[in-house]
């Protein structure tokens, strides 16, 4: 028999984790790189069928963030200025500020198998990896927003990373920082087990 592992309350971790849309300022509360490494370490141990390990990660630095901020702001301003009276420039500026306030950004890509069955399973594996990442982040007082917004579809993002969209699909932008207390508590609800479980004889 192995010695019992020290108990951490996993259920409490799963239930308390929330998607974060606001972060503490990175000037006052910088994110130490080793905490991100811990998250990546958790991510790479996610289950994956046939050990395809389909996940790839990009941690953005100052230069790449500047390029991505422009892509983000352009996409957002184009969409918002269509159905609003405020001008494109105004939305662009606001979006730029919003993006710049995100302390750390990691993009996640899935290596695309040519086999559609493997591709589907690989997406599931990547989702497991992202959830491992998010839970490890939460356990270190960090919050994450998993975004699947338009920057992930934009060809300029693929050029920035130097990847071919036929071979790798971007499936998540992880926005990371120390948690602001307002971590979208309205989402802290789920259907009860009785509603989602069917017990068969
Ligand atoms: C596949 C996937 C895609 C998501 N995409 C977005 C997104 O584009 N923007 C966003 O704000 N949240 C996104 N989320 C986060 C969900 O909106 C969030 O998990 C949900 O509201 C439940 O909140 P909770 O994470 O706090 O429990 C995504 C989550 C998943 C699993």
End-to-end CA distance of the chain: 35
Atom in ligand 1 nearest the alpha carbon of residue 21: 11
Tens digit of each residue's pLDDT (9 = 90 or more) over 119-155: 999 999 999 999 999 999 999 999 999 999 999 999 9
Tens digit of each residue's pLDDT (9 = 90 or more) over 50-96: 999 999 999 999 999 999 999 999 999 999 888 766 799 999 999 99
**pLDDT attached to residue 43:** 99
- pLDDT above 60 for 6: yes
What domains are defined for the chain? 20-59+102-179 (3.40.109.10)
**pLDDT attached to residue 180:** 85
**Distance (Å, whole) CA 158 – CA 162:** 6
Decide: 15 in ligand 1 pocket, CB within 6 A: no
Cα 146 to averaged position of ligand 1 atoms, centre (Å): 6
**pLDDT attached to residue 1:** 56
Q: 85-100 as b/e, with b when 16 or more CB fall inside 10 Å?
A: eeeeeebbeebbeebe
**pLDDT attached to residue 86:** 76
Question: pTM for the complete prediction?
Answer: 0.95
Decide: 110 in ligand 1 pocket, CB within 6 A: no
Decide: 123 in ligand 1 pocket, CB within 6 A: no
- pLDDT above 80 for 9: yes
Helices (H), the chain: 10-16, 33-44, 62-82, 88-100, 116-138, 155-161, 193-196
């Amino acid at each position: 028999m192995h010695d019992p592992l020290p108990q951490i309350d996993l259920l409490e971790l799963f239930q308390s984790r929330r998607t974060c849309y606001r972060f503490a300022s990175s000037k006052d509360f910088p994110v130490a790189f080793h905490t991100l490494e811990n998250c990546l370490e958790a991510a790479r141990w996610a289950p994956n069928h046939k050990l395809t390990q389909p996940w790839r990660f990009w941690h953005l630095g100052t230069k790449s963030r500047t390029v991505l901020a422009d892509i983000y702001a352009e996409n957002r301003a184009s969409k918002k200025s269509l159905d609003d009276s405020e001008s494109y420039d105004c939305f662009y500026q606001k979006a730029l500020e919003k993006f710049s306030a995100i302390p750390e950004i990691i993009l996640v890509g899935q290596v695309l198998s040519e086999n559609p069955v493997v591709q589907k399973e690989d997406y599931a594996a990547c989702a497991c990896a992202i959830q491992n990442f998010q839970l490890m982040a939460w356990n270190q007082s960090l919050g994450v927003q998993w975004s699947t917004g338009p920057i992930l579809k934009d060809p300029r993002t693929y050029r920035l990373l130097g990847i071919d969209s036929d071979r790798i699909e971007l499936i998540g932008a992880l926005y990371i920082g120390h948690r602001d207390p307002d971590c979208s508590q309205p989402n802290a609800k789920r259907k009860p087990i009785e509603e989602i479980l069917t017990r068969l004889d």
